[in-house]
Homo-oligomer: A and B are copies of this chain.
Amino acid sequence: MSTDATGAARVLSGNDASSDVKEELKKRVEALGQKLPGFRPGLAIVQVGGREDSNVYIRMKLKNAEAIGINATHVKLPRSATEVEVLLKLNELNQDPNIHGIIVQMPPDSEHYINPHTITDAVNPEKDVDGLHTMNEGHVATGDLETGFLPCTPNGVMELIKRTGVKIAGSDAVVLGRSKIVGTPMSELLKWHHATVTVCHSKTKDLEQKAAAADILVVAIGRAEMVKESWIKPGAVVIDCGINSIDDPTKKSGKRLVGDVDYKGAAKRASWITPVPGGVGPMTVIMLMRNTVLAAEKMLERLLQPKWNLR
């Protein structure tokens, strides 16, 4: 966390934060192996087809898993796979005692229509380390943050906000975006950390004015650099979930990644701000790892419980 040259804001680094979590997870995996020799958390990453962006995300997940000691398996299904075939595969993984976490890389890349909700809800909620099963969503919505798994991106954002030391309870938080995987669970987590939360979306009027009232502003709209300096309340914590690829002729690839926030402008007013890349992105991956380790810990606990305990 360093002071950024372009403005007053301190940089809220997801690289730093995720490294810290990684070290913690290595220790937890080691402890599991000591409790039951040979035991390692198992993660299945199911991919339908072969989208290039999905390949990149999956490689990153495999690399992180390996570094932590998680046994990750890349389960590839062909583009010809139907929804029923994906469901059969998930059923098999749900039964597999060596698999503690299951994710399906979205979007599926199939020749057939595959309903993402059907897929997500076919993962056993106890193995749903993406936290996207409707049961897990219901838990988060009603403030039960213990029973299930928290969705990775919002959970990573909470970790980042906590690292600033800013008081969340009683603060005014504004979330731009209400998607199932980012905006909606984000607003719920902030609410149950006792912020007063306003959720904005494409139908919101006076968006700038609403953003400018936020002590904590989380942006997840998928619009390159839309949030400008004037949208930021002086001293606010600004979290940018956006990942947008824009043209940049100065780069070899001709492309550059930017967030949903105009970083240089916003950094002049914010107290803390996440960069893109290196902000929310690495937190999402590491929270997936943490959920997987947690799933394995819970499973081992059940395994080692006295057999006569029927509840």
Contacts and interface: CB of A to CB of B under 8 A. Distances in A.
Contacts of A203: 169-170, 194, 196
Interface in A156-171: 169-170
A130 to B, nearest CB: 14
Interface in A201-258: 201, 203-205, 210
Contacts of A142: 134, 137, 180, 184
A33 interface: no
Nearest to A137: B138
A16 interface: no
B188 A141 contact: yes
A140 B117 CA distance: 14
A139 interface: yes
Nearest to A132: B142
Interface residues of A, number: 32
A309 to B, nearest CB: 15
A178 interface: yes
Contacts of A196: 198-201, 203-205, 210
Contact of A191 (B143, B144, B199): B199
A184 B178 CA distance: 15
Contacts of A117: 144
Nearest to A171: B205
Contacts of A184: 141-143
A291 interface: no
A189 interface: no
A136 interface: yes
A135 interface: yes
A245 to B, nearest CB: 27
24 contacts: A133-B138, A134-B135, A134-B138, A135-B135, A136-B138, A137-B137, A137-B138, A137-B141, A137-B142, A138-B138, A140-B141, A141-B184, A141-B188, A143-B180, A170-B203, A170-B204, A170-B205, A172-B205, A178-B191, A196-B198, A196-B200, A196-B205, A196-B210, A197-B198
Given A137-B141, A197-B199, 16 more contacts: A133-B138, A135-B135, A135-B138, A137-B142, A141-B141, A142-B180, A170-B203, A170-B204, A170-B205, A191-B199, A194-B201, A194-B203, A196-B198, A196-B199, A196-B210, A198-B198
